Amino acid sequence: EAIQRQRQRIADLRGTLSAGVPRDEVADIADRLAEIYSGAETTVEIEHSLLEVFTELDPQVTSLYRSALADENLAARSAELATRFEALATADPGDDEVECLARDIVACSRELGEMARGELERIDFGGRFGTDDLLDALTGADELSAAQRRCVQRMVALGRQAWS
């Protein structure tokens, strides 16, 4: 029953985030995050939940977050974000720190999104993908439908795989 409740919380959160997250709703996100992580029992479960949240906030950077990049700025920012995610897992619901961390998630996802666009400019897709098309899609990511966002995410992942 506890697992089912957590799955519902994650589903509710994903629904909220996929619909777009105005800045004035960050506090509500913080409350939902606190609920989710206070119910987590293992670090693997916490990490999975965080990646779910991160993906919904900014899908096109998920592959960058998961990969070990040579770019020191991006690697450092990803490591910093991961550390703060760990802190979030131990924060008490309603804690001011939770709201601060939720704001960081939003800000960092946008920052990593900008870095992702810069990274894509350096990728040679070997003629298999249109880099300009990808960049156009990423630039307008906030207006993409959920299906389009998943498509862009997959294309970026494939492009990075071909590049590495």
The closest alpha carbon to 117, from 145, 139, 141, belongs to 139
* Residue 72 or residue 99, greater confidence: 99
Greatest CA separation for the chain: 50
pLDDT digits (tens, 9 = 90+) for 146-160: 544 554 455 445 445
Q: Are 13 and 33 in contact, with CB atoms under 8 Å apart?
A: yes
0.75 surpassed by pTM? no
Over residues 80-132, the pLDDT tens digits come to: 655 655 555 555 545 555 556 556 555 555 555 555 555 545 444 444 444 44
Q: Which DSSP symbol is given to 92?
A: P
Contact 109, 149 (CB under 8 A): no
**Domain spans in the chain, listed from the N-terminal domain onward:** 2-163
Query: Which residue type sits at 51?
Result: L
pLDDT band for position 142 (50/70/90)? Answer: very low
As a whole number of angstroms, the distance between CA 152 and CA 136 comes to 10
- Does position 52 have pLDDT exceeding 60, yes or no? yes
Residue 86: what pLDDT? 54
- Measured CA distances, 44 to 36, 50, 86 (Å): 13, 10, 11
